Amino acid sequence: MYTQQDYQKAVEIIQLKTDLKPTIGLVLGSGLGTLADTLENRVVIPYADIPCWPQSTVHGHHGNLVIGELEGQVVAAQQGRAHFYEGYSMEEVTFPIRVMHFLGITTVILTNAAGGVNSDYRVGELMLIEDHINLPGIVGANPLMGPNDDSIGERFVGLAQAYDRSLRTIAKNIAEQNDIPLHSGVYLAVSGPSFETPAEIRMIRTIGADAVGMSTVHEVIVARHAGMRVMACSGITNEAIDAVDTEFETNHEEVLEAGKVIVPRLTTILKGVLNNFPA
Q: Where along the sequence are the contacts to ligand HPA (CB under 6 A)?
A: 113-115, 190, 195-196, 212-214, 237-238, 240, 250, 255
Query: Does residue 163 carry a catalytic annotation?
Result: no
- Note if the bond before 181 is cis, omega within 30 degrees: no
Q: How far is the CB of 36 from ligand HPA (least distance, A)?
A: 20
191 is an active site residue: no
Determine whether 238 is an active site residue.
Answer: yes
Based on the residue annotation, tell me whether 85 is a catalytic residue of this protein.
yes
Residue among 9 and 202 whose Cβ is closer to ligand HPA? 202
H-helix or E-strand spanning residue 28: strand 24-28
Distance CA 99, CA 104 (A): 9
Query: Please, what is the minimum distance in Å from the beta carbon of residue 113 to ligand HPA?
Result: 4
Q: Which residue is nearest to ligand HPA (CB)?
A: 115
Q: Which one, of 144, 119, 121, 163, lies nearest residue 226 by Cα?
A: 144
Smaller CB separation from ligand HPA, 50 or 129: 129
| Complex with ligand HPA: residue 105 or 190, whichever CB lies closer | 190
Catalytic residue check, 62 = no
CA distances from 217 to 29, 140, 167, 182, 267 (A): 13, 14, 17, 19, 21
Distance CA 128, CA 105 (A): 21
Which DSSP helix (H) or strand (E) runs through 57? none
> Is 151 one of the catalytic residues?
no
For ligand HPA, the closer CB: 24 or 113? 113
Query: Residue 252 catalytic?
Result: yes
Distance CA 188, CA 216 (A): 10
Nearest in space to 218 (alpha carbons), one of 109, 118, 130, 132: 132
Shortest CB 235 distance to ligand HPA, Å = 9
Q: How far is the CB of 7 from ligand HPA (least distance, A)?
A: 29
Single out the catalytic residue among 36, 82, 83, 231: 83
Annotated catalytic residue, options 252, 254, 257, 276: 252
Distance CA 253, CA 97 (A): 27
Which amino acids are annotated catalytic? 30, 61, 83, 85-86, 113, 214-215, 238, 252
